[in-house]
Amino acid sequence: MIRRADLEEREIKFLAPYAVKARLSHGRKYPEKEHEFRTCFQRDRDRILHSTAFRRLQYKTQVFVNHEGDHYRTRLTHTLEVSQIGRTICRVLGLNEDLIEAISLAHDLGHGPFGHAGERALTQIMKGHGGFEHNLQSLRIVEVLEESYPEFPGLNLSLEVLDGMKKHGSRRKKFPVYLEAQLADIADEIAYDSHDVEDALRSGLIEEAELEGLALWRDITSYILKKYASIDESQKRRLATRLLINRQAQDLISNTQKNIDRCGIRSLPDLGKTSERVVAFSREMTQLKKEWRSFLSERFYNHYRIVRMTEKGVRLIRAIFQVYLERPAQLPPTVVKRAKKEGLYRAVCDYIAGMTDRFAQDEYQRLFEPYERV
């Protein structure tokens, strides 16, 4: 039988000296007895996986609003891809796989309906009322809003997982100290930079010919055509996505290992002493990705049909927010209760941020369509 103590022992023996170890965790806000079989990070991962917020990711927008098609990425499949990419790279670098899995699975919990457009709507409305940001909302979910445990609010996750979630996001200047947390950020980027282009091609909003201007794409497709004289379009698209992920992962692994050696990192405290982001792409890949990103943003994220789709979400969020504010008695009792404690704006914001695309659309119908049942 392999128990928690054995797993912890293995980590100490087999992981890199600068990996985070479950046995040396700083613990939880509300102290708990350790589990017999699972390490603290494995337990955190399971708590996140079984949370209500996690299941809702299934019907939340990544780029395409949920009802647009069954084969596009959703927040849930995106999250699983981030976790898989993160774990693979983690394993190669001798880092803690369970920790990155927990951070990755939680990283997008705070996204509201309709992706970044939905976030923009909530940010505007919450200006002057405490603000809104999806990363902070993810934390709020795991620290306050999930109500599954009688002993404490939220999920009472280990401090290392919370820390990784806190500093997630490229807008934050200061990067996280743990390599696992730095990696979770970048695994997120690798996942969406690669799968967004696959979804864009699948949708027909972008033609493959448009990608020819990108060095990274030219490189990959010329390799594919050399290897397979005839390959059908959809297989080519998928192979290209796989190669894209592979390229980035390989570059990240070798460059990160170089950085570890160059910065003389031999322990966790060494990481605190370096002023640079250790988990990073090579200069060459950074440049290729920059070109890639600006293409995606110009041609895909700002494609008129994508904008029309997401702006509809913005209007819908504004409308239902307004309806609740005007007459809070239309809110379910649990939300009214929270409003008494934390104020109406915050309670409505939490309620709407928790909604899936599907629920928000149904709720709009219920509130505005005269013949719809309430």
Residues near Mg ion (CB under 5 A) are 108, 188
CA distance 374 to 240: 47
- Minimum distance from CB of 271 to Mg ion (Å)? 24
Please classify residue 77 by burial: count the beta carbons closer than 10 Å to its beta carbon, then call 0-12 exposed, 13-18 middle and 19+ buried: middle
- Minimum distance from CB of 191 to Mg ion (Å)? 7
- Minimum distance from CB of 190 to Mg ion (Å)? 11
Neighbours of 51 (CB within 10 A): 21
Phi, psi of 28 (to 5 degrees): -120, 160
- Which residues neighbour 346 within 8 Å (Cβ) at sequence distance 6 or greater? 129, 130, 338, 339
Residue 110 or 321 with smaller CB distance to Mg ion = 110
Please classify residue 346 by burial: count the beta carbons closer than 10 Å to its beta carbon, then call 0-12 exposed, 13-18 middle and 19+ buried: middle
Residue 85 or 347 with smaller CB distance to Mg ion = 85
Residue 19 or 183 with smaller CB distance to Mg ion = 183
Residue 4 or 111 with smaller CB distance to Mg ion = 111
Closest listed residue to residue 168, CA positions, set 155, 186, 154, 156:
186
- Minimum distance from CB of 170 to Mg ion (Å)? 11
- Minimum distance from CB of 75 to Mg ion (Å)? 8
Residue 162 or 186 with smaller CB distance to Mg ion = 186
Residue 141 or 271 with smaller CB distance to Mg ion = 141
CA distance 98 to 307: 37
Closest listed residue to residue 143, CA positions, set 168, 162, 130, 123:
162
- Minimum distance from CB of 105 to Mg ion (Å)? 11
Please classify residue 223 by burial: count the beta carbons closer than 10 Å to its beta carbon, then call 0-12 exposed, 13-18 middle and 19+ buried: middle
